[in-house]
Structure 1
Amino acid sequence: MRALAALSRFVGNTFAYWVLLYAVLAFLFPSWFIGLRILIVPLLGLVMFGMGLTLKLDDFSEVMHHPWRVALGVIAHFVIMPGMAWLLCQLFHLPPEIALGVILVGCCPSGTSSSVMTWLAKGDLALSVAISALTTLLAPLLTPALIWLLAAAWLPVSFLEMFWSILQLVILPIVLGVIAQRLLRERVQFVVDVLPLVSVISIVMIVCAVVAVSQAKIAESGLLIMAVVILHNSFGYLLGYYTGKLFKLPLAQRKSLSLEIGMQNSGLGAALASAHFSPLAAVPSALFSVWHNISGALLSTYFRKMEPEVMVAEDKPVVR
C-alpha cells in the first residue's frame, strides 16, 4: 500500500512529463489511442469524484476569513481567461471550430492541478483551494453563459444543454465524492492517497483520446493552435499576478491568483467540446492540458525562489 501511495506521489509530481509523453505518442500513433474517445466523459467524472473526496468544509474557511480576496480571484478568473480567449480569436482570425475551442477552454473553471502548483510555489494554498472550489461550483452557470455570449458568433451554442452537461460532469461527481467522504471517513484515506495517480492517468487518457481523434487537424494547424494556447496561458498568469499587485495583495496571494487564473480545467473543456461540438473544437483544450502543466511547473519553480518584500513601517518590519 505504501509503495502504491509513493508511486502516486511520484506520478503526481511528474504530471507534466506524462501528459507531454503520451500526447506525442497519441499524435505519432493515433490508432493506439483512438478507442479511448468513448471514455472522455467517464474519466472526467472520475477526476471530479476524486476532487469531492478531498474537499472539506475547512477548504471554504478562506471565504469567511478573506471573502474579498476569494471574490477577486473568482471574478478575475471568469473575466481574464474568457476575455483573452475572445481577443486572441479575433487577432488570429481563427476558424470557427478552433475559435470555439479556445473560448471554451477560456470559460472553464480553474485547473485541477493549480492548487498543487500553488503549494510548490509557496503561494497561499487556502486561497487557491477556495478559488478552485468556487469557480468549479459556479461553472454550471457561468461557463455555458460565457461560451454562449462569446462564441455564438462562430457556431450555435445551447446554454441549457451545456448547463446540464456540466452538472452531470462536474457537480454530481463532486457531490457524490463529498458524501462518500462524510460517510466513510478514514476508510477513504487510502483512495485519497492514490488520487494523484488516478487523476494523472485519467487526464492523460483524455488528452490521448482528443489528440488521436484530431491528429490530422493538429498536423495541419497545430502550430497556430499551440501559439494561441501558449499566449492565452501566459497572459492568464501575467494578468492574474498583476491583478493581485493592483489590489496590493501580499506576494503569496499574488502567486495564488496567477496560477489559479492561468490554469484551466482543460479536461472539462475537452469533454464539453467532444460532447457538443466536434473533435477539432476539443484540440485547444488538449493542447492547453499539455502546455499548462509544463508552464505551471516552470512558473511555480520561479515563484518558489521569489523572496517576499519587506517594508519598514515605523520601527517594525512588515513582510508582504
Structure 2
Amino acid sequence: MLILLFPVWALLLSAYAYFQPNFFVDFKSYIIPLLIIIMLSMGLTLTAKDFKQVLASKRAVIVGVLLQFMVMPIAALLVSKIFGFDDELTIGMLLVGSVAGGTASNVMCYLAKGDTALSISMTSISTLIGVVLTPLLVALMVGKGVDIPVQAMLESLVKIVLLPVTVGVLLNTFFAKKVEKIQFLLPYISMFTIVFIIAIVVALSAGKLAEIGYLIVFAVMIHNSIGLILGYSVTRLLGFDERICRTIAFEVGLQNSGLAAALAIKFFTPVAALPGSIFSIWHNVSGSLLASYWSKQKS
C-alpha cells in the first residue's frame, strides 16, 4: 500500500520543499550517493536468471529496447520543440527520454497481469545498455550549440549504475539467503530515497518551477503518454500477445527519471532536473491508473 501511495509522498514532500527550500538545498551533494543506493537496491533484487530470461524472450526484448531508446528520446525532443523549451529544459527532457526503463515498470507490470519476468529482464538490459546510450543520445539530439560532457557522463553512469547494480547482483547470487531477509525492505528504501531526491531538486529550482511549472507538467504528461501508447500499440501491431504488449508499454513509458534528474544536477543545472523530478511523480500516477485498468481486463 505504501508503494502505491508513492505519488502522494512525493507530492507532499515536494510541496514542503517548494515552500521551505532552505531545508533541502544543502543536501544537493547527497543526490548521487542516494541514487547509488537505489541502483544497489535494484541489483539486490536481480539474479543471473533474470538475464538468462532475455534469451528466452529475445524478440520481445529486442523490440522493447529498440522502442525504449528510439520512441522516448525522439518524443522528448519533439515535445520540447512544441513547448518552446530553452536549452536547460530540453536537456532535461532528453535525459528523461534517453535513460533506461525505471524499476516502477516492474511493479506496474505485475499489477497489470503482464509478464513480470520479461519486465525485470528488460529493465536490467536497458539499464546496462543505457550506461553507453544515454550520453550518446543526448549529445546527438540536443544540437551542436550545447556542450554535452559525453565521456564524463559515461564514466559517472558506470559508477552510479553499472557498479552498484553489479555488486547487488553478485551479493544476491552468493549470499541469497541473507539478502532474501531484507528484500522486503528494498522497495521502500528505493521509494523514500527517490522521494527525497525529488524534494531536493524542487527546492533547488523552486523559482523556475513557480514560473513555468505547469508547462513542464503538461510536457511530461504528453511524453509519458506517447511512450505508453506507442509501446503498447506498436507491439500489438507486431503480433505480440496481450501480456507482452502491456509489459513493453510500461518498459517504454516508465523511465528511470530519478537518474535523469541526478545527471542533470551533476552535469547541467537544477532547472534541467525538473523534467526528471516531475516525471518521477507523474509516471507512477499514470502507471498505477493503467495497471488498475488492465488488472480488471483479460490478459
Letter in 2 for 1:63: V
**1:44 alignment partner in structure 2:** 35
Letter in structure 1 aligned against 2:244: Q
Give 3-state SS (helix, strand or coil) of 1:157's partner: coil
Give the match for residue 296 of structure 1: 287
Aligned counterpart for 1:228 among listed residues 207, 219, 231: 219
Using a 3 Å threshold, how does the CA distance of structure 1 residues 180 and 62 change in structure 2: closer, same or farther? closer
Structure 1 unaligned blocks of 5 or more: 1-9, 309-320
Alpha-carbon deviation of 1:185?
Answer: 2.0
In structure 2, distance between residues paired with 1:21 and 1:239: 31
Find the counterpart in structure 2 of residue 87 from structure 1.
Answer: 78
* Letter in structure 2 aligned against 1:259: F
In the other structure, the counterpart of 1:110 is: 101
Who is 1:305 aligned against?
296
Letter in 2 for 1:222: G
Q: Which residue of 1 aligns with 2:59?
A: 68
**Equivalent AA in structure 2 for residue 219 of structure 1:** A
Which is worse superposed, 223-232 or 178-187?
Answer: 178-187
Match of 2:260 among 262, 269, 282: 269
The one-letter code matched in structure 2 to 1:220 is E
1:70 and 1:203 mapped to 2: Cα distance? Answer: 27
Selected match of 1:20 from 5, 8, 11: 11
Q: Is the 8 A contact 1:96 1:154 kept in 2?
A: no
Pick from 184, 188, 207: which aligns with 1:216? Answer: 207
2:231 equivalent among 240, 243, 254: 240
Partner of 2:24: 33
Unaligned runs of 5+ residues in structure 2 are none
CA distance in 2: counterparts of 1:16 and 1:223, whole angstroms: 17
SS in 1 for 2:44: helix
In angstroms, what is the RMSD of aligned CA positions? Answer: 1.2
Distance 1:154 1:300, change over 3 A: farther
Q: What TM-score does the superposition give when structure 2 sets the normalisation length?
A: 0.97
The 3 A distance-change label for structure 1 pair 201 and 212 is same
Matched AA of 2:98: C
> 1:100 touches 1:154 (CA, 8 Å); kept in 2?
no
Shift of 1:259: 0.7
1:127 aligns with 2:118: yes
Where in structure 2 are the equivalents of 1:138-177 lying within 5 Å? Answer: 138-153=129-144, 155-177=146-168
**CA offset digits 1:214-261 (Å, max 9, x no partner):** 000100111111110000001110011101111111111111111110
Q: 1:96 aligns with which of 67, 87, 96?
A: 87
| Corresponding position of 1:318 | none
Instruction: Report the Cα distance in structure 1 between the residues aligned to 2:53 and 2:145, rounded to whole angstroms.
Output: 39
Letter in 2 for 1:290: I
Whether 1:283 and 2:282 are equivalent positions in the alignment is no
Residue 11 (1) aligns with residue 2 (2): yes
* Cα distance in 2 for residues equivalent to 1:53 and 1:76: 27
Contact 1:27–1:215 (8 Å) recurs in 2: yes
Tell me if structure 1 keeps the 8 A contact 2:48–2:173. no
Q: How far apart in 1 are the matches of 2:121 and 2:173?
A: 19
CA contact (8 A) 1:11 1:196 kept: no
Deviation of the 1:154 alpha carbon: 5.2
Are 2:4 and 2:288, in contact at CA under 8 Å, matched by a contact in 1?
Answer: no
Moved over 4 A (4+): none
